[in-house]
Amino acid sequence: MRPRVERALDLLAPHARLLLAVSGGPDSVALMLLSAQWRARPSHEVAVATVDHGLRPDSHAEARLVADWARALGFEHHLLEWEGEKPATRIQERARGARYALLADCAARIGASAIVTAHHADDQAETILFRLARGSGVSGLAGMAASARCNGLALLRPLLGLRKSTLVGVCEAARHPYVSDPSNANEAYARVKLRRLMPMLEELGLGAEALLRLGTRAARASVALDACAARLRARALLEAGAGSARFDAAALRGAPLELLQRLLAVEIARIAPRSQLRLDRLERAAQRLAEALNDDHKLRMTLADLLLDSENGSVTLRPAPPRRGNAQKGAEGS
């Protein structure tokens, strides 16, 4: 195994039990092949899981084929099925959510502390382009992190530094087959349309390498901004309970909008981790808070199921009271 490829798997070392997500495509088959050769494999328990979304006639047979490949390489295999009625809209987004939920359940069941996916450098470039097209912020333009969290477990992407051609080469060198998902050529999906644009963008200087450089620089900037936001939080924090936070308004006054925004995002993630918060709403909230602080005006607004208050020299985040309609329903049901 080439040194660079071998080093990529070092990300997995801290986890004694791992679950590889293997769909059967060349990327995930390469991940499985590399993990089979991994020098630290004897000291780790590594299992493989394949999610059958049931969206194509051949999907179950392909999943069974992956199970055979995994067992031939000495891995325990788990076939996970997305059951129930399938959505008519936002299919890829919802299928992705179902996939991670099934993987997390399986990992918890077998005692694995990390899920490992085969996302690679070309996926990263597409992600950055996708987010760029949607006006993402600095953190979004950083792309996918090599190590993240998924349903309380580590989500590891050890192959982000490797191009797809390298992973296809791993399969070819091992003379190992893989399957091709026809949805990867379906232009009904936005990512497929962007993928078709890549050769033209390459001619204009916005190819994969340029997008990856953008992602690296955005990641560095995001780390620096997070550090500045952490210092602002430490300076302004008055109280931090399990379900609330209170800050000194004077310490927040005049802070850059980006830092206010990041401070709010961190507290919302801590207090209400299941909340869904869109970037545009977070930006508007930070803008309104900055204006209230600068003008010494009161502010009260809801944000991600929390109440944001600015008055009497402090800024507070706490759970929002139930809406009247919900409260009435609760009273009727009691």
**Position 134 in a domain:** yes
Identify whether residues 178 and 35 lie together within a single domain: yes
222-229: which pairs have CB atoms within 8 A and are 24 or more residues apart?
222/138, 222/139, 222/142, 225/138, 225/258, 225/259, 225/262, 226/262, 228/259, 229/259, 229/262, 229/263, 229/266
Residue 67 is encoded by which pair of tokens? 């199970």
The whole-number pLDDT of residue 6 equals 75
**Predicted model pTM:** 0.85
A 10 A CB-CB count for 39 gives 11
The whole-number pLDDT of residue 22 equals 97
- DSSP assigned state of 12: G
Read out DSSP for 70-103?
HHHTT-EEEEEE--SPPPSSSHHHHHHHHHHHHH
**Position 324 in a domain:** no
Identify whether residues 205 and 249 lie together within a single domain: no
User: Tens place of pLDDT for every residue, the chain, 334 residues?
Assistant: 566 777 889 999 999 999 999 999 999 999 999 999 999 999 999 999 999 988 888 889 999 999 999 999 999 999 999 988 877 787 778 888 999 999 999 999 999 999 999 999 999 999 999 999 888 999 999 999 999 998 889 999 999 999 999 999 999 999 999 998 666 666 666 677 787 888 888 888 889 999 999 999 999 999 999 999 999 999 999 999 989 999 999 999 999 999 999 999 999 999 998 887 888 999 999 999 999 999 999 999 999 889 999 999 999 999 988 776 554 444 444 3
**Position 332 in a domain:** no
Residue 322 is encoded by which pair of tokens? 């139930």
The whole-number pLDDT of residue 256 equals 96
Identify whether residues 307 and 171 lie together within a single domain: no
Q: What is the CATH number of the domain that holds 34?
A: 3.40.50.620
> Which H/E stretch holds residue 111?
none
Structural domain total, the chain: 2
Identify whether residues 80 and 207 lie together within a single domain: yes
Instruction: Determine phi and psi for 297, rounding to 5 degrees.
Output: -105, 155
Identify whether residues 146 and 276 lie together within a single domain: no
**Position 328 in a domain:** no
Identify whether residues 187 and 283 lie together within a single domain: no
Q: Does residue 233 contact residue 251 with C-beta atoms inside 8 Å?
A: no
The whole-number pLDDT of residue 333 equals 42
Model pLDDT for residues 220-251, shown as the tens digit of each residue:
999 999 999 999 999 999 999 989 999 999 99
Model pLDDT for residues 201-226, shown as the tens digit of each residue:
888 888 999 999 999 999 999 999 99
Identify whether residues 63 and 195 lie together within a single domain: yes
Whose tokens are 């200087």? That residue is 205
Identify whether residues 51 and 127 lie together within a single domain: yes
Identify whether residues 152 and 288 lie together within a single domain: no
Domain with 299 in it: 242-319
From 212, 231, 265, give the residue that closes a domain.
Answer: 212
Identify whether residues 198 and 250 lie together within a single domain: no
From 195, 212, 229, give the residue that closes a domain.
Answer: 212
**Position 67 in a domain:** yes
Identify whether residues 250 and 187 lie together within a single domain: no
**Position 219 in a domain:** no
* Cα distance between residue 186 and residue 13, in whole Å: 37
Residues 6 or more apart whose Cβ sits within 8 Å of residue 266: 229, 233
**Position 110 in a domain:** yes
Identify whether residues 134 and 184 lie together within a single domain: yes
Read out DSSP for 124-191?
HHHHHHHHHHTT--HHHHT---SEEEETTEEEE-TTTTS-HHHHHHHHHHTT------GGGG-TTSHH
From 196, 212, 228, give the residue that closes a domain.
Answer: 212
Instruction: Determine phi and psi for 248, rounding to 5 degrees.
Output: -75, 120
**Position 330 in a domain:** no
Q: Residue 241, SS3?
A: strand
